[in-house]
A and B are shown apart, each in its own frame.
Chain A
Amino acid sequence: MGESRAETHDERSSNAGATGPKTAGRDEAAASEGRTPRRWPAFSGRRERRLEQTGSDPDPRFTFANERTFLAWNRTALALIAAGLAAAQFLKFNLHGLRLIIAVPLIVLGAALALASYLHWEDSERAMRLRQPLRYSWMPRVLTGGIAVIAACGGILAVVDRLLH
């Protein structure tokens, strides 16, 4: 997804003056520590560093908004997984296996949206750092279409299950 965007690794040093003195001390301190993530246990931060060296820091409000959007999509994914589990336990078809046709697609849709939300967050973060327009996400379309298809399947299965018995 993000490969088409040019990553300007060296732009940050030329922008250092523009971002002002507010970050200098802390960033130097972080650099000497190898830039470990601040709020999470130390982990391989290579990907993090690469994103951080792209472009220049955006307005923190935008970063926070992007973070909240990612979290909202992640909660949506968890809700879909929970819905799949509920369907597996509480749907009573005469053919026991039929409920898997509802439950498994819901869970798979949740996993797909979780992955896509991360990619969308990273893509938006990179676009903001490079002062480029944000791209529209295909996730709302997939979510809407997926739920509609699964709901239609549920209706059809309920009728078929009743007719067969």
Chain B
Amino acid sequence: MNRPQSQPTGGTITPPPDRDDPGLARERTALAWTRSALTMAASGVLIARAAFVGHLPVLGVVSAVAMAILSGLMWRNGQAIYRERREAWMPQRPQTTAFGLLTVATVLIAATAIAVTVAI
């Protein structure tokens, strides 16, 4: 029997959020990544501005571009977490590499900030 044309075939019915994401832990984590991405982008603008004030334009451009890319990756990570909703009850693999990279990046940003601060 053919299915009637009017019936939706590829459509998905969104389940109540609490069934696939208890306590909305996944959604809150995705939003936390989004917040962090925005903070990273804003910090990039601040560093670039300070670097130009301190007559370090190359350092300013390089760090702004690097932080923009990092911010994009963090944003994408948040979106990826949100999209994996149906796997909410998969055990989560410890994100050692991602968190380590973010930590190293933050320390590098601090080092750049000190260089810029001294130059102003």
Chain A residues proximal to chain B, CB less than 8 Å: 19, 22-23, 26, 30, 35, 37-40, 43-45, 47-48, 51-52, 57-58, 60-61, 63-65, 67-68, 70-72, 74-75, 77-79, 81-82, 84-86, 88-89, 100, 103-104, 107-108, 110-111, 114-115, 117-118, 121-122, 125
State whether A117 and B92 are in contact (beta carbons under 8 Å apart), knowing that A39-B77, A64-B28, A75-B35 are contacts in the complex. Answer: no
State whether A86 and B46 are in contact (beta carbons under 8 Å apart), knowing that A37-B97, A64-B92, A107-B114 are contacts in the complex. Answer: yes
Is B68 close to A, CB under 8 A?
no
Number of interface residues of B (CB under 8 A): 50
Residues B113 and A114 in contact, CB atoms below 8 Å apart: no
State whether A52 and B94 are in contact (beta carbons under 8 Å apart), knowing that A77-B106, A111-B110, A118-B99 are contacts in the complex. Answer: yes
A interface, by DSSP: helix, strand, loop or mixed?
A: helix
B interface, by DSSP: helix, strand, loop or mixed?
A: helix
Q: Which residues of A contact B62 (CB under 8 A)?
A: none
Residues B106 and A110 in contact, CB atoms below 8 Å apart: yes
